[in-house]
Amino acid sequence: MKKHLLLSILTVLTVTPLMANDEDRLRDARATAAAVPPKLLAVLSAQIAEGGHASAIAVCQEKAPQMAKAASEKSGWSIRRVSLRNRNPKAVPDTWERAALQEFDRRAAAGESPAKLEQWAVVETDGRKEFRYIKALPVQALCLNCHGTSDKIPADVATQLQSRYPADQGTGYTVGQIRGAITMRKPQ
């Protein structure tokens, strides 16, 4: 059964080489991806200053998807965040994203800077071509209050996380590790 499923996935998903006009898409993807995380960090920092770390959980749960949607509408890219150890059940990577995240982990373990890890391709799925882009999101010090090891997460934050995300897998990180990625796609 697993062999059949893998064969099915491979027959529907084809990666094609980038063409000259795709360089423009790559530049656009990089610029869009670079703009989204700082905006989220600014909103998170403001909420933490106002109501503490536990109150910032709602920002990630509610505002981050709204911000991604607004950025998608403005840019024409479909934008979301994914992780191999997701907190949000909607942040599960697809096959292409999972392979990229696994490659990012391998490259980071080999000494590459997680902040510079990215991947792109033109991917054909079910006869439709899309330009895909994914960029690693490394853990920053601010992230440890919600994504760190159990000794770094305050009790009120742990309670909020358990309440909002009973199946949470998004803890246990240290600064610099790859927490997940911002991923984008646009039809060719």
Q: Which two tokens stand for residue 119?
A: 């991947």
Categorize the per-residue pLDDT at 29 as very low, low, confident or very high, splitting at 50, 70 and 90.
very high
Q: Residue 29 and residue 25: Cα distance in Å, rounded?
A: 6
Residue 3 has pLDDT above 70, yes or no: no
pLDDT in tens, 101-160: 999 999 999 999 999 999 999 999 889 999 999 999 999 998 999 999 999 899 999 999
pLDDT in tens, 47-71: 999 999 999 998 888 888 888 999 9
Categorize the per-residue pLDDT at 188 as very low, low, confident or very high, splitting at 50, 70 and 90.
confident
CB 67 within 8 A of CB 32: no
Q: What's the whole-model pTM score?
A: 0.85
* pLDDT at residue number 7: 37
Q: Residue 142 and residue 150: Cα distance in Å, rounded?
A: 15
Q: Residue 104 and residue 183: Cα distance in Å, rounded?
A: 13
Go through 76-104 and write b for each residue having 16 or more CB atoms within 10 A of its CB, e for each that does not: ebebbbbbbbbbbeebebbebbeebbeeb
CB 146 within 8 A of CB 60: yes
